[in-house]
Amino acid sequence: MPHRRPVLPSVARHHRGGRPAPTTATPPAHHGRPRAGATGTADGTAADEPVLEVSDLRVEVPATRRDATVPLLRGVDLAVGAGERVALVGASGSGKSLTAAAVRGQLPPGLRAQGRVRLGGADVLDVPGPRRPVDRRPAVVLQDPSAALHPLVAVGAQVAMPLRARHDRAGRRPGRAAARRAVLELLAAVGLEDPRRVAAGRPAELSGGQRQRVALAVALAAAAPLVVADEPTTALDTVTQAAVLDVLADRTGPGRAGLLLVTHDLAVAAALCSRVAVVADGRVVETGPTARVLAAPGHPAARALVGADRAGGTDPRAGATVPAPAGVPA
């Protein structure tokens, strides 16, 4: 049963005010595989410097004596431009999370990956996330915030760690007071009340929604050029969902970090992302401006996805940040 939620008014409002103007540009529909390294900007046109390039990514369960090789990803091509927000959507089991895991350098053990993942121009597919240089690690937000938080370490210290790593890289170490100020600012920015109390406590003292906000603060503290968020709001109540999406909208986008957002929720994709990539059977089968793809999907898998969402009672175009292209029925 599809997951339903009201349109996210705060995110939609946010995008209507003060942000770079949306566009009605409608590049030709793209079905099949995008050209390797192809990327897009807010208007779906090519950008020069993608922060992320995935080409011909294949992931499989290797053959054993008893069982043949099982392909899971069959040649994913995907790119995220600097400051671009791209949603990865698709049916359950299509390969969204595996794609995001390969980008993070966190594929489940036992799987074999081939192809290319480039972050900031460097090949990282074979380098596990924790072993990558700091500037080749995307910030990560997952559905379960517990995975990102150490249960025994004070929240403030966990937010401070990526902050300090970031300053080390730039050759500057923030003093204690500056780091503490930055931690409290971040905790406030993700909507946590009483940041001082939160910073001093352990994750177990927080609600699930508060923990997700802390996980978001930890991710954002790294100031990475790319945020990878895999169903970051699925487990949250509606109010916290909207708040988390507002923070992502604030901290990513033109002039800020790029975003690769895995979501099953087309309304979320429409509210947050200028471009969408539809995954089916281990491949990206269609990509383009979110409004265009959701209004007039071309590939059968994309049509099925949008059709199922509409049949569920929610028009995925609701809350879209990009007006429907001319000639497309609203």
Ligand X SMILES: Nc1ncnc2c1ncn2[C@@H]1O[C@H](COP(=O)(O)OP(=O)(O)OP(=O)(O)O)[C@@H](O)[C@H]1O
Residue numbers at the binding site for ligand X (CB under 6 A)? 61, 72, 90, 92-98, 108, 111, 264
Give me the least distance between CB of 261 and ligand X, in Å please.
Answer: 12
Shortest gap between Cβ of 94 and ligand X (angstroms)?
Answer: 4
DSSP, res 241: H
- Comparing CB distances to ligand X, the nearer of 61 and 188 is 61
Cβ closest to ligand X, residue 2 vs residue 300: 2
Task: Please state, in angstroms and rounded to a whole number, the distance separating the CA atoms of residues 210 and 262.
Answer: 21
Q: Which is nearer to ligand X, 11 or 113 (CB)?
A: 113
Return the number of the residue (88 or 192) whose C-beta is nearest ligand X.
88
Instruction: Give the Cβ contact number of residue 150 at 10 Å.
Output: 14
> Quick check: helix, strand or coil at residue 171?
coil
DSSP code of 24? Answer: -
Q: For the chain, first and last CA: distance in Å?
A: 25
User: Whose Cβ is closer to ligand X: residue 203's or residue 297's?
Assistant: 297
Integer Cα distance of 165 and 148 in angstroms: 16
Q: What's the chain's length in residues?
A: 330
> What is the nearest approach in angstroms of ligand X to the Cβ of residue 108?
4
If the CB atoms of residues 26 and 97 are measured against ligand X, the closer one turns out to be 97
Q: Least CB distance from residue 140 to ligand X, whole Å?
A: 15
DSSP letters along 174-226, please?
--HHHHHHHHHHHHHHTT-SSHHHHHHS-GGGS-HHHHHHHHHHHHHHT--SE
Between CA 78 and CA 141 the distance in angstroms is 19
CB of 88 to ligand X, least distance (A): 8
Cβ atoms of 159 and 199 closer than 8 Å: yes
**Is residue 288 classed exposed, middle or buried when 0-12, 13-18 and 19+ CB atoms within 10 A define those classes?**
buried
> What is the rounded CA–CA span in Å between residue 13 and residue 4?
20
In the complex, the smallest distance separating the C-beta of residue 96 from ligand X, rounded to whole angstroms, is 4
Nearer to ligand X, 111 or 184 (CB): 111
Closest distance between ligand X and the C-beta of residue 264, in Å?
Answer: 5
Transcribe 44-94 into DSSP letters: S---S-EEEEEEEEEEEEPP-SSS--EEEEEEEEEEEETT-EEEEEESTTS
Q: Do residues 70 and 281 touch, judged by C-beta distance below 8 A?
A: no
- Closer of 107 and 124 to ligand X (Cβ): 107
- In the bound complex, what is the minimum distance in angstroms from residue 215's beta carbon to ligand X? 18
How far apart are CB 271 and ligand X at their closest, in Å?
A: 19
Which CB, 14 or 96, lies closer to ligand X?
96
